[in-house]
């Protein structure tokens, strides 16, 4: 990468934050699971329980990014990753999961998440129909009970059109969630001189957005190489927050898709840039005042010098 000589890389590395963790103001994701909808029918999604709670949350916290598997899954993915692992990836990068148990697919999701060794349970809200209150069914005494024991919040509501937000339990749980998301803390992937390093995928996202802010527009391959050069990695593997690897390899393309659908990045002819330059924070890097803007200006000058697209 001609635009990033060793002097420029050294300057960026000098601003690496030494802290182990930091508050994350942006971005924040909520993964909504529930009954499917027909993407070809106008307003089909907004007439579902997920659409209803989506609008309610956006009123409470306008900056929240809603994650829907249906919007992100592509047929081309299935040769490299199965849908269950893909949803596991979405659950991992999300700050919270709200699961409406209302269809065969959502019952399967409940079982998958509930038995994921509490990895997701502590950030799940499981919404059950009122008919399950005090039930001794398999659903209630099996995956729901296990998820509850692992930290999931169980709430009840009338899961039918127009009645969802009548549930005080559900509204209170969502309000508490929005308040909690204002104080999100995430670990920082440390600089390690090593051939292969495990990278926590949830921390990678605010880190890579910070680099995009510095160097945009930038090709995906150059962006990843710059990240590795700053961190001192030869290669890296995405892992879950408990350090475990995914059953199938998570590729950066899945992350670009998530960020693009969420309107956080835009991709034009392979070049990645931000929709809103201001939002990504100083997370991995620590700049004061307008020091980041000065760093970006130096990068842009080198790009012009070597004739690269700016």
Residue 56 and residue 174 in contact, taking contact as beta carbons nearer than 8 Å: yes
pLDDT score of 77: 76
For residues 102 and 49, the answer to whether their CB atoms sit within 8 Å is yes
Q: What is the pLDDT of residue 225?
A: 93
For tokens 């593997």, the residue is 237
In which residue are the tokens 């596991």 written?
88
Q: What does the CA dihedral 135, 138, 140, 144 come to, rounded to 10 degrees?
A: 180
Structure token digits, residue 197:
């390093």
Homologous superfamily of domain range 29-181: Response regulator (3.40.50.2300)
What is the rounded average pLDDT of the residues 101-127? 87
Instruction: Judge whether residue 118 has pLDDT over 80.
Output: no
pLDDT, mean of residues 24-40: 91
Q: According to the model, what pLDDT value does residue 310 have?
A: 38
pLDDT digits 0-9 by tens, 133-176:
999 999 989 999 999 998 999 999 999 878 999 999 999 999 99
Label residue 254 by pLDDT band (50, 70, 90). very high
**pTM assigned to the model:** 0.88
Per domain, the residue ranges of the chain are 6-24+187-305, 29-181
E strand residue ranges, the chain:
21-23, 29-33, 65-67, 96-100, 124-129, 153-157, 185-187, 194-200, 218-219, 233-239, 265-268, 271-274
Q: Peptide bond before 137: cis, by omega within 30 degrees of 0? A: no
Greater pLDDT, 67 or 5: 67
Residue with tokens 């060793």: 6
Between 184 and 305, name the one with better pLDDT: 184
């Amino acid at each position: 990468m001609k635009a990033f000589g060793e002097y420029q890389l050294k300057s960026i590395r000098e601003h690496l934050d030494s802290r182990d963790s930091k508050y994350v103001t942006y971005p924040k994701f909520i993964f909504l699971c529930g009954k499917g909808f027909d993407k070809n029918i106008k307003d089909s999604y907004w007439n579902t329980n997920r659409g209803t709670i989506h609008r309610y949350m956006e009123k409470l916290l306008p900056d929240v990014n809603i994650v829907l598997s249906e919007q992100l899954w592509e047929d081309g993915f299935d040769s490299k990753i199965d849908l269950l692992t893909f949803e596991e990836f979405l659950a991992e990068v999300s700050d919270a999961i709200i699961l409406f148990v209302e269809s065969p697919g959502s019952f399967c999701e409940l079982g998958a998440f509930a038995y994921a060794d509490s990895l997701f349970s502590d950030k799940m809200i499981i919404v059950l129909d009122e008919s399950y209150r005090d039930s001794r069914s398999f659903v209630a005494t099996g995956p729901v009970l296990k998820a509850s024991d692992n930290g999931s919040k169980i709430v009840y509501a009338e899961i039918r059109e127009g009645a969802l937000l009548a549930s005080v339990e559900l509204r209170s749980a969502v309000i508490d969630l929005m308040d909690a998301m204002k104080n999100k803390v995430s670990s920082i992937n440390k600089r390690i001189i090593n051939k292969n390093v495990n990278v926590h995928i949830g921390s990678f996202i605010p880190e890579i957005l910070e680099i995009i802010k510095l160097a945009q527009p930038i090709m995906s391959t150059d962006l990843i190489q710059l990240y590795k050069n700053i961190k001192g990695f030869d290669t890296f593997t995405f892992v879950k927050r408990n350090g475990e690897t995914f059953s199938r390899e998570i590729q950066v393309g899945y992350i670009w898709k998530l960020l693009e659908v969420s309107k956080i990045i835009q991709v034009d002819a392979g070049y990645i840039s931000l929709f809103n330059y201001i939002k990504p924070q100083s997370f991995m890097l620590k700049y004061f005042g307008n020091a980041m803007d000065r760093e970006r200006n130096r990068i842009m000058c080198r790009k012009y010098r070597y004739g690269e697209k700016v």
